[in-house]
Amino acid sequence: MMEVTYDARAVSEMFDRMSKANSKGFNRNVLKSCADIMVAATRRRFLTSTGPDGQAWKPLSSLSVRARMEGLGGSTKRSRGGGFAGGHRPLLRTGAMMKSIVPRFTSDNEVVVETNNPWAAIHQKGATYRRTQKQCWWMILNLMRPFGNIESAPVGLQPLLWIRMRKMMLSMMKRPQVIPARPFMGINKENEAEMIKAVDWWVIKYFMRDSASGGPGITNEA
């Protein structure tokens, strides 16, 4: 007859230590470290124009770059050197969306990384939309800029040009436009590895340090 005996006291003591650690903020510290890692990783994707999977975002169109430089649709911040703060990188015209990525504790056992920017979901998943009349006129006038102003055309042709431009504007307003998906929220293997290291650090801090330090520790008895 073979008999196996298991002493569960060690497991019971570990649960006691975990309970004491939780009362001293173990869970919250672990979650905060993980959330900080995810916030930093998510914001970094705006600077590198890449998604969680490492795929590069679709670049801005030439017209979008020109609109940013001319401040169409709102003020455009300039850097100290006089250039435009976001350069030609998507989603960085003002940096507001990047800065809106923050952690929020829903309880001592849960934290979420979120943004309250109303445009975030559109850029995360992509969308279709229709241009406004102002946007269409701006595009048409810029497309015609290399050929000169309408005022420089013969007087007899100017009414015909305006009619043609109006037809182009109406056609552009009817045509749906695509906002490409530029995902920034998500966890990849690199993020997971960083978070595992953070958890390991807190486990060592709470459970492997000498109990003489005043916290719930494990003592090594030789």
pLDDT digits (tens, 9 = 90+) for 6-18: 555 665 666 676 6
**Largest separation between any pair of C-alpha atoms in the chain:** 112
**Same domain, yes or no: 45 and 121:** yes
pLDDT at 125: 94
pLDDT at 109: 83
Confidence of residue 83 (pLDDT cuts 50, 70, 90): very low
Is the model's pLDDT at 141 over the cut of 50?
Answer: yes
* Per-range mean pLDDT, top range of 28-37, 131-140, 143-152: 28-37
Using the 8-state DSSP alphabet, how is residue 119 labeled?
Answer: T
Q: How many folded domains does the chain comprise? A: 2
Q: Is 195 within a domain?
A: yes
**Same domain, yes or no: 109 and 201:** yes
Confidence of residue 74 (pLDDT cuts 50, 70, 90): very low
Q: Is 221 within a domain?
A: no
- Residue 54 sits at the vertex; the CA angle it makes with 53 and 56, to the nearest 5 degrees, is 120
**Same domain, yes or no: 29 and 110:** yes
**Same domain, yes or no: 143 and 120:** no
Residue (of 58, 86, 71) closest to 178 by Cα position = 58
**Same domain, yes or no: 69 and 163:** no
Bridge partner list, 178: 128
**Same domain, yes or no: 208 and 106:** yes
**Same domain, yes or no: 160 and 58:** no
132 membership: H or E segment, kind and range: none
Domain span at residue 37?
9-126+180-213
- Residue 191 sits at the vertex; the CA angle it makes with 189 and 192, to the nearest 5 degrees, is 60
Residue 60 exposed, middle or buried by CB count within 10 Å (0-12, 13-18, 19+): buried
Q: How many CB atoms within 10 Å of residue 64?
A: 15
**Same domain, yes or no: 119 and 55:** yes
Is the model's pLDDT at 124 over the cut of 50?
Answer: yes
Query: What number is the average pLDDT over the span 72-87?
Result: 46
pLDDT at 22: 67
Rounded-to-5 percentages of helix, strand, coil across the chain: 50, 10, 40
**Same domain, yes or no: 120 and 138:** no
Q: Is 113 within a domain?
A: yes
Specify the pTM: 0.67
* Per-range mean pLDDT, top range of 42-56, 85-99, 129-143, 164-178: 42-56
